[in-house]
Structure 1
Amino acid sequence: MSVLITALLCGAVVGVALGALGGGGGVLAVPALVYLLGVEPAQAGTTSLVIVTATTVTALFRHAGTGNVKWRTGALFAAAGVLPAIGTSVLAHRIPQSVLTAAFAALAALAAAAMLRGTRTTTRAPAEDDGPAGPARRGRLGTVAAGAGLGAVTGLLGVGGGFLAVPALVSVLRLPMRKAVGTSLVVILINSVVSLTTRLAVSGISLDLAVFGPFVGAAVLGAWDGRRLASKLSGAALQRAFAAVLLGVASFMLIGVLA
């Protein structure tokens, strides 16, 4: 399969994941860039952040008119992760790639488990909506702690963080799945821009346009259609789909580390 076709297919999958699930773009983009498109691991995280940033803007635009984006909650969540994201972005190139890959896989598996627990919780009782005082009711400390942890992961692994933001918004802040999906895009965008800016300042970037161009183009189109797909699925179905994607990626990456 040619590089062009592979990049188009990978980009479409990443875009649909971001548009429909509010995350999973970076956690899919990084292994796709490394294992399928031959991008050097040191550049894959940075390239992924560029792709995720561009795609998230499209996905957020699609979700903004639905009422499912809690801007204040997303901004607070992301703000707590700015300094950790900067710090870990500086450290990212000093840690062995095998360690980063194993950490990436382990976090994806933990996030999948959190989402599966969330589906069982939401079948027992409907999630409480998030009004203006939502973060205060849930505990600002929990919001800040979760946001800081997510920022650190974003900077270290070169992902937007949506694969952890959605489970955190559902489990910690008790947002309904659809609102968690929309709100996570705010978090992803802020975290990605901060981490990308830091990485560019520290090490610069060299994009392979033959890979990047078709990848990001297909991802943007996929994000546009992903929002339409999300509207046809229940919150529980979205959570199960998210968890399945994360478990598949975690297994694939762990096999790569152990092989």
Structure 2
Amino acid sequence: MSVLITALLCGAVVGVALGALGGGGGVLAVPALVYLLGVAPSEAGTTSLVIVTATSVTALVRHAGTGNISWRTGSLFAAAGVLPAIGTSALAHRIPQPVLTSAFAVLAALAAAAMLRGTRTAQRAPAGDGGAAVGPPARPAGRNGPLGTVAAGAGLGAVTGLLGVGGGFLAVPALVSVLRLPMRKAVGTSLVVILVNSVVSLATRLTVTGISLDPAIFGPFVGAAVLGAWDGRRLAAKLTGTALQRAFAVVLLTVAAFMLIGVIA
């Protein structure tokens, strides 16, 4: 299979994931770039951030008119992650790739476990988010307040800069499990966080490392991902909040297992 076709197929999958789930773009893009397209690990994170930035803009525009974005929470969450993202982006190229890959996989698996735990609780709650509420019914959305938002945002910014992902695979679980947003609103709000974190991390990486990107790979990848993000939003509208959470968790567990196998092998 040619590089062009592989890049187009991978981009489409990443775009659909980002549009439907509000995350999973970077966590899918990095292994696809390394294992399927032969991009050097040192460049995969930076290339991934270009891809995630472009697709998150598209997905955010698509979600903007749905009422499923909490702009205040998303802005505060993202702002808290700016400085940590800058710091870890500058350090990322100094850390051995197996260490980064293992950390990536472990975090993805933990996030998946949190999402699956949330679906079990949601089944006992009254309908309120596409047929299923998310999180314990006794705790309303946003109860943890600004301090919880800032703490979660700072941690996510650090992960984004370090691993070269938009952070959606952790932003959505954090917004659902920590801040108690309904799944659909967490998906939309996470796109604000992903966009800010990606732009900050990308700018820092390009400034510090000066890595050049291969347009033959990320051009087709980005184009297909942008189109896939539009289709992903339509897919999300057809699924319940619980179904979206389960789909997200399955994606995360699959990627985590794949990457850990790659480190061990």
Judge same fold: TM > 0.5, yes or no: yes
Q: Please say if 1:248 is aligned against 2:254.
A: yes
Q: Please say if 1:187 is aligned against 2:193.
A: yes
Offset of 1:134 from its aligned partner?
6.0
Q: 1:167 aligns with which of 170, 173, 176?
A: 173
Alignment of 1:6-17 (within 5 A): 6-17=6-17
Which residue identity is paired with 2:89? S
Which residue identity is paired with 1:52? V
Q: 2:216 aligns with which of 210, 213, 222?
A: 210
Q: Paired residue for 1:74? A: 74
Offset of 1:205 from its aligned partner?
2.6
Offset of 1:212 from its aligned partner?
1.0
Q: Paired residue for 1:98? A: 98
Q: Paired residue for 1:231? A: 237
Offset of 1:139 from its aligned partner?
2.6
CA distance in 2, matches of 1:119, 1:29: 26
What do residues 78-121 of structure 1 show as CA deviations (whole Å, max 9, x unaligned)? 11111110110011001000000000000000010011011112
Which residue identity is paired with 1:190? V
Q: Please say if 1:221 is aligned against 2:227.
A: yes
CA distance in 2, matches of 1:242, 1:127: 14
Q: 1:158 aligns with which of 145, 164, 170?
A: 164
CA distance in 2, matches of 1:121, 1:176: 12
Offset of 1:253 from its aligned partner?
0.2
What do residues 190-224 of structure 1 show as CA deviations (whole Å, max 9, x unaligned)? 00011011111101231111111110000000001
Give the paired residue count: 254
Which residue identity is paired with 1:226? G
Offset of 1:48 from its aligned partner?
0.3
CA distance in 1, matches of 2:89, 2:234: 34
CA distance in 1, matches of 2:10, 2:227: 12
CA distance in 2, matches of 1:51, 1:209: 11
Q: Paired residue for 2:61? A: 61
CA distance in 2, matches of 1:171, 1:159: 20
Secondary structure, counterpart of 2:66 in structure 1: coil
CA distance in 1, matches of 2:206, 2:115: 33
Q: Paired residue for 2:52? A: 52
Do the aligned residues in 1 keep the contact of 2:141 with 2:182 (CA within 8 Å)? no
Identity among equivalent pairs (%): 86
Alignment of 1:121-136 (within 5 A): 121-125=121-125, 126-127=133-134, 135=142
What do residues 53-100 of structure 1 show as CA deviations (whole Å, max 9, x unaligned)? 000000000000000011110000111111110110011001000000
Which residue identity is paired with 2:16? V
Secondary structure, counterpart of 2:181 in structure 1: coil
CA distance in 1, matches of 2:184, 2:246: 13
Q: 2:184 aligns with which of 161, 178, 202?
A: 178
With 119-128 and 173-182 compared, the bigger mean Cα shift is at 119-128
CA distance in 2, matches of 1:36, 1:74: 33
Q: 1:18 to 1:210 in 2, by over 3 A?
A: same
What do residues 2-29 of structure 1 show as CA deviations (whole Å, max 9, x unaligned)? 1111000000000000000000000000
Q: Paired residue for 2:150? A: 144
Alignment of 1:192-203 (within 5 A): 192-203=198-209
Secondary structure, counterpart of 1:39 in structure 2: coil
Offset of 1:138 from its aligned partner?
2.1
